[in-house]
Amino acid sequence: MSERLPLFLEGRFVQSSSDQSIPVTNPATQAVLTEAPAATTEEMDRAIASAQAAFEQWKHTAPSARARLFMRYQQLLKDHHDELGELLAQETGKNFEDAKGDVWRGIEVVEQMCNIPSLLMGETVDNVATGVDTHSHVQPLGVSLAITPFNFPAMIPLWFFPTAIAAGNACILKPSEQDPMTPNRLAELFVEAGFPPALLQVIHGGKQQVQYLMEHEGIATVSFVGSVPVAEHVYRTATQHLKRAQCFAGAKNHMVVMPDADKQQVINNIVGASVGAAGQRCMAISVAVLVGETREWVTDIRQALAQVHPGHWDQPDAAYGPLISPAAKARVESLIQQGVDEGATLELDGRGCQVEGYPDGNWVGPTLFSQVSPDMTIYQEEIFGPVLCLVEAADLDEALTLINNNPYGNGTSLFTASGAAARKFVSEVKVGQVGINIPIPVPLPFFSFTGWRRSFFGDQHAYGKQAIRFFTETKTVTSRWFDSGMPASGPNMSINLR
| Contact criterion met (CB below 8 Å) for 361 and 322 | yes
HEC string of 296-332 equals HHHHHHHHHHHCCCECCCCCCCCCECCCCCHHHHHHH
Closest CA to 271 of 239, 247, 300: 300
C-alpha angle 285-286-289 in degrees, rounded to nearest 5 = 85
The catalytically annotated residue of 114, 171, 247, 282 is: 282
Instruction: Report d(CA 296, CA 129) in Å as an integer.
Output: 68
Three-state DSSP at 147 gives strand
CB-side neighbour CA atoms (13 Å) of 58: 28
* 284 C-beta neighbours (distance < 10 Å), count: 29
Q: How far is CA 172 from the centre of its chain?
A: 17
CB under 8 Å to 492, separation ≥6 — which residues?
none
Instruction: Note if 282 is an active site residue.
Output: yes
Give the per-residue pLDDT at 1: 42
Residues making up the chain, counted from first to last: 498
CB under 8 Å to 279, separation ≥6 — which residues?
286, 383, 384, 385, 386, 387
Helices (H) and strands (E) in the chain, counts: 16, 22
Instruction: Report d(CA 327, CA 221) in Å as an integer.
Output: 31
CB under 8 Å to 120, separation ≥6 — which residues?
63, 137, 138, 167, 468, 472
| Contact criterion met (CB below 8 Å) for 96 and 313 | yes
C-alpha angle 35-38-41 in degrees, rounded to nearest 5 = 155
CB under 8 Å to 480, separation ≥6 — which residues?
131, 132, 133, 495
| Contact criterion met (CB below 8 Å) for 86 and 103 | no
Closest CA to 224 of 411, 59, 455, 466: 455
Q: Position 387: which residue type?
A: V
Closest CA to 405 of 420, 393, 388: 393
Instruction: Report d(CA 435, CA 450) in Å as an integer.
Output: 13
Q: Exposure pattern of 467-478 as b/e (b: 16+ CB <10 Å)?
A: bbbbbbeeeeee
Closest CA to 156 of 229, 228, 105, 213: 105
Q: Are strands 411-415 and 253-257 parallel, antiparallel or unpaired?
A: parallel
- Across the 498 residues of the chain, what is the mean pLDDT of every consecutive 10-residue run? 83 92 95 95 96 96 96 97 96 94 96 94 91 93 96 95 97 96 96 95 96 96 94 95 94 94 94 92 93 90 95 93 96 97 96 94 96 95 95 96 93 95 95 91 84 88 89 94 67 47
Instruction: Report d(CA 148, CA 153) in Å as an integer.
Output: 7
Instruction: Report d(CA 458, CA 453) in Å as an integer.
Output: 10
What pLDDT, in 10s, does the model give residues 314-341? 998 999 999 999 999 999 999 999 999 9
What percentage of the chain has pLDDT greater than the value 90? Answer: 86
Instruction: Report d(CA 244, CA 281) in Å as an integer.
Output: 25
Domains and CATH numbers, the chain: 7-250+451-477 (3.40.605.10), 253-407+411-436 (3.40.309.10)
Three-state DSSP at 245 gives strand
| Contact criterion met (CB below 8 Å) for 18 and 40 | yes
* 57 C-beta neighbours (distance < 10 Å), count: 12
| Contact criterion met (CB below 8 Å) for 153 and 183 | yes
Task: Return the bridge partners of 270, or none.
Answer: none
φ and ψ at residue 113, rounded to 5 degrees: -70, -15
Instruction: Report d(CA 134, CA 151) in Å as an integer.
Output: 45
Three-state DSSP at 458 gives strand
What pLDDT, in 10s, does the model give residues 47-65? 999 999 999 999 999 999 9
| 302, containing H or E segment | helix 298-306
Q: Exposure pattern of 253-265 as b/e (b: 16+ CB <10 Å)?
A: bbbbbbbebeeee
Give the per-residue pLDDT at 486: 59
C-alpha angle 306-330-85 in degrees, rounded to nearest 5 = 70
